[in-house]
Amino acid sequence: MSELLGVAVLGAGHMGADHVRRLDRVVSGARVAAVADPDAARAKEAVAGLDGVLVHTEVEAALEAPGVDAVLIASPGPAHEEALLAAFARGLPVLCEKPMVPDPAGALRVVEAEARLGRRLTQIGFMRRYDAEYQRLKSLLDGGRLGRALMLHCTHRNVSSPPDFTSAMLIDSSVSHEIDAARWLLGQELTAVTVLTPRSSAGAPEGLLDPQFVLFETDGGALVDVEVFVNCGFGYQVRCEAVCEAGSALIGDERAMLVTERVGARRDVPQDYLVRFADAYDREVQAWVDATLRGRITGPGAWDGYAASVVAEAGVRAQRSGNRVTVEQAPRPALYAEPR
C-alpha cells in the first residue's frame, strides 16, 4: 500500500459523487483510484477534474484496477452483497453505505462470509455515530450522570421523498439510522417493534403511509419511539432526546443558523442530509481511512449492518400487519463479540 490509500468508489450517484468529492478535497491520506457505475457518463462526471482515476461500468473491473487498496460502496442497497463478497475475495477493506444489505438473509450471508475470513474488513456507513452531537450524547449516557436511560424520543423528517419511495422504505431506509443509533447509544439490542400510522399527510404521494410512528422495545427495558415524516415540506430535521432516571438530554435543535434582520428573525432549516450531517460524513470517512492505513477496521461493522436489517424487516412486518413483532437474530459469531 502506498502512502495514500487508493479507494475504489462503487456508485456515482448523489451519495457516491459526494464521497468522491470528499476523498479528493476533504479527507487526508486517501485518493480516488477508480470509480464504477453502470452509467459511464455519470461516473465520468463524478471524477471530472481528477487525474489518474480509472472509470469502469463493472464492479469487478474497478476492484482489479491498479492502485486500489480499499473500497467505498455507495451503490443502491440491492447491489451491496455482491460488491462486499467481491471485496472479501480480494481481501479489500470496505466502507459500505447503509443498508449493508437490505434483506436479513443476504446480510447474514455477508456476516458469515466475513466470519469465515477470521478478520473484520467491513465498516458500515452509520454516520450518526460520528456526529458531534450524537457523540456527546453517547458520552453523557455512558458516563452515568443522568442514571439509566429509560426512553429515547426520536424525530426524522425529510422535505420530500424520492418518486420511487415506498411505505416500507420509511422503515428500512429512513428509520434504519435510528435503529443503529439506538443500539449504539443505549448499548442494548432492539427486541420488538410496533408501527402506528396516522392518516397520511396531504403532502405525501398517493398510497404512501407518511408519517409513521415506530415504537421499539429493548433487551434492557428501554423504549425508543421514532416519528418518521419524509414529506414534511419544510426541512430536514433529526432530533433525539434521551430521558433518563435523573435528567434528560436533547440533541438536534441547534444545527440551524438563526438570522435576525429588521424584518424579523428566522431560523434556516437544512434541506438535505448531506448538509445536516456533512461534518459527520467527513469524520466517518477520515476515521475509516486512518484505521485502514493502520491495518485496522473500527466503527460499526457487518454485525451492526445485519442487526439493522433484521430490526427493519421486523418493522416492515409490523407496519403491514398492525401487530407488535418480535425481532429474532441469528447467533452472533465470535468475530463480533466486542461491544456494539
Q: What's the alpha-carbon Rg for the chain, to the nearest Å?
A: 20
Co-location of 150 and 121 in the same domain: no
295 and 217 share one domain: no
Share of the chain above pLDDT 70, in %: 93
Could you tell me if 158 and 229 are in contact, meaning their C-beta atoms sit under 8 angstroms apart? yes
Asked if pLDDT for residue 272 goes beyond 80, the answer is: no
Asked if the structure places residue 313 within a domain, the reply is yes
Task: Let me know if residue 337 belongs to a domain.
Answer: no
- Answer yes or no: do 114 and 57 share one domain: yes
Q: Where are the beta strands (DSSP E) in 74-189?
A: 94-97, 122-125, 149-157
Domain contains 56: yes
Q: Running DSSP on this structure, what letter comes out for residue 90? A: T
Q: Are residues 313 and 181 in the same domain?
A: yes
- Tell me, yes or no, whether 50 and 171 share the same domain: no
Beta bridge partners of 141: none
3-class SS letters over 275-323: HHCHHHHHHHHHHHHHHHHCCCCCCCCHHHHHHHHHHHHHHHHHHHHCC
Does 86 reside within a domain?
A: yes
| Residue-wise pLDDT tens digits, 52-71 | 999 999 999 999 999 999 99
Cβ neighbors of 149 (< 8 A, separation 6 or more) are 141, 185, 186, 222, 242, 243, 244
Instruction: Tell me how many domains the chain contains.
Output: 2
Tell me, what CATH number does 189's domain have? 3.30.360.10
CA separation for the pair 85, 288 (Å, rounded): 19
- Tell whether 24 and 171 lie within a shared domain: no
Q: What pLDDT does residue 276 have?
A: 82
Each residue's pLDDT tens digit, 241-253: 999 999 999 998 7
Residues 32 and 173 placed together within one structural domain of the fold? no
pTM of the model as a whole: 0.92
User: pLDDT class for 261, splitting at 50, 70, 90?
Assistant: low
Is 333 a member of any domain?
no
Question: How high does pLDDT run on average in the chain?
Answer: 94
111 with 56, same domain?
yes
Has residue 338 been placed in a domain?
Answer: no
pLDDT at 277: 87
- The answer on 124 and 180 residing in a single domain is no
Give the model confidence (pLDDT) of 153-200 as tens digits.
999 999 999 999 999 999 999 999 999 999 999 999 999 999 999 999
pLDDT tens for each residue of 211-248: 999 999 999 999 999 999 999 998 889 999 999 999 99
Residues whose CB falls within 8 Å of the CB of residue 220, separated by 6 or more in sequence, listed in order: 186, 187, 188
CA-to-CA distance for 159 and 273, rounded, in angstroms? 10
Rounded CA separation 83/61 (Å): 11
Please indicate, yes or no, if residue 332 is contained in any of the structural domains. no
Q: Do both 106 and 25 map to the same domain?
A: yes
Confidence of residue 254 (pLDDT cuts 50, 70, 90): low
Residues 44 and 157 in one domain: no
Q: Which domain holds residue 22?
A: 5-128+279-300
Q: What pLDDT digit, counting tens, does each position of 105-147 carry?
A: 999 999 999 999 999 999 999 999 999 999 999 999 999 999 9
Strand partners, 249: 242
Residues 215 and 167 in one domain: yes
Asked if residue 339 belongs to a domain, the reply is no
Which three cell numbers, joined as nine digits, stand for 168? 416500507
CATH classification at residue 55: 3.40.50.720
